[in-house]
Amino acid sequence: MNPDHQNQTKTTQAIDINKNNKSNKQDLEADALVTNLHTETENIADNEAEQSENKSFQSTNSSFEQVNAQQSAAIFRQFNQGKVITKQMFDELNAKNIDNPLFTCLFNSSQHFESLYQHLGYELCLHSAGDFYYVRELRADSSDEADDNALKVQAILLQLGRYYSQTGRELEQLCQAQFGFNDSDLIALSKGDESLAILKAIKIENWNKAIDFITIRNFAYKTGSNSWFISSAGKAFLFNLVEQYSQFEKS
């Protein structure tokens, strides 16, 4: 073989080897760069996730710090007893309606309480027309007790409202502290066979027990030893029932 040809062949092989070495080196450098980028991206993502968790934790902590613990506990007890929390409540000592501090607490920290009760399995609801808060279970298989209580409240209010109208009084007066209803009205209701039959159907013994049932749940407020009036929550229920009844009669 020609020595010049041999030298040329060796030179070509050397160039190819150098090219391959350079190519391999570049590939390794590229792989290292990609690996570093992935690592940096993962670190950034981890840091962002940690910061997000810290912000969420700090937000939760700050919301608890901003809410009065005693009021929060009182709100929980009322909801747990099946009560609604009205915007105004009756102050028997001064004989007038006053702002309900529990409603104000709920309203001012609504996001906190919505999140809190969601974690407890409830939905916090504001009935804007009646100016009251209530909770309902989120479970699909929840008990029928809440529905049963709602039915009792509606039946009592409807009978009371119908009787009130039949005596020539305005329903609005039934919901005003200076008017309302008293023992003489309950005595008159107790003489009606139909109203007693309805109470029996909803498993309530008499009209005194019926008024206790709605008063305990804040659908009515007591103004004296033998006098009451319907609260804003009870009014919302009653007027909705009256509207439905009117629509039914028209159809």
pLDDT above 90 for 35: no
Same domain, 44 and 82: no
List the Cα angle 76/115/146 in 5-degree steps: 50
Q: How far is CA 79 from CA 98, 139, 140, 248, in A?
A: 20, 17, 19, 33
pLDDT above 90 for 20: no
Region of 97 on the Ramachandran plot (φ > 0 left; ψ -120 to 50 alpha; else beta)? beta
Q: Which of 63-67, 118-122, 160-164 bottoms out in mean pLDDT, i.e. has the lowest?
A: 63-67
Same domain, 160 and 242: yes
Same domain, 17 and 50: yes
- Does residue 130 sit in helix, strand or coil? coil
Q: What is the DSSP string of 6-45?
A: HHHHHHHHHHHHHHHHHHHHHHHHHHHHHHHHHHHHHHHH
Residue ending a domain, choose from 118, 137, 156: 137
pLDDT above 50 for 11: no
Indicate the number of domains in the chain.
3
Q: Which phi and psi (to 5°) does residue 97 adopt?
A: -75, 140
pLDDT above 70 for 114: yes
For 151-185, b where at least 16 C-beta lie within 10 A, e where not — what string? ebbbbbbbbbbbbbeeeeeebeebbebebbbeeeb
Same domain, 53 and 107: no
Instruction: Kindly report the length of the chain.
Output: 251
Question: Dihedral of CA 16/18/21/25: which sign?
Answer: negative
Q: Are 163 and 216 in contact (CB under 8 A)?
A: no
Question: Which pTM was predicted?
Answer: 0.74
Same domain, 60 and 73: no
Q: Are 154 and 165 in contact (CB under 8 A)?
A: no
CA 1 to chain centroid, in Å, comes to: 95
Name 122's bridge partners.
Answer: 137
pLDDT band at 65 (very low <50, low <70, confident <90, very high): confident
Same domain, 61 and 104: no
Same domain, 130 and 178: no
- Token couple for 40: 């940096």
Same domain, 79 and 54: no
Percentage of the chain lying above the pLDDT 70 cut: 73
Determine the average pLDDT of the residues in 197-208: 96
pLDDT at position 40: 53
Q: Are 157 and 230 in contact (CB under 8 A)?
A: yes
Question: Which residues touch 125 (CB under 8 Å, ≥6 apart)?
Answer: 133, 134, 135, 136
Determine the average pLDDT of the residues in 157-179: 96
- Does residue 91 sit in helix, strand or coil? strand
Same domain, 111 and 26: no
Same domain, 133 and 95: yes
Residue ending a domain, choose from 119, 137, 155: 137
Greater model confidence, 7 or 78: 78
Question: Whose CA is closest to 212, among 198, 226, 201?
Answer: 226
Same domain, 173 and 125: no
Can you list the alpha helix ranges (DSSP code H) found in the chain? Answer: 3-66, 69-80, 101-108, 110-119, 145-166, 171-174, 183-190, 193-201, 207-216, 232-250
Please give the torsion angle defined by the CA atoms of residues 184, 187, 192 and 196, in that order, rounded to the nearest 10 degrees: 130
Question: Which residues touch 83 (CB under 8 Å, ≥6 apart)?
Answer: 216, 217, 218
pLDDT at position 15: 41
Residue ending a domain, choose from 116, 137, 158: 137
Same domain, 1 and 46: yes
Residue 242's domain comprises: 145-250
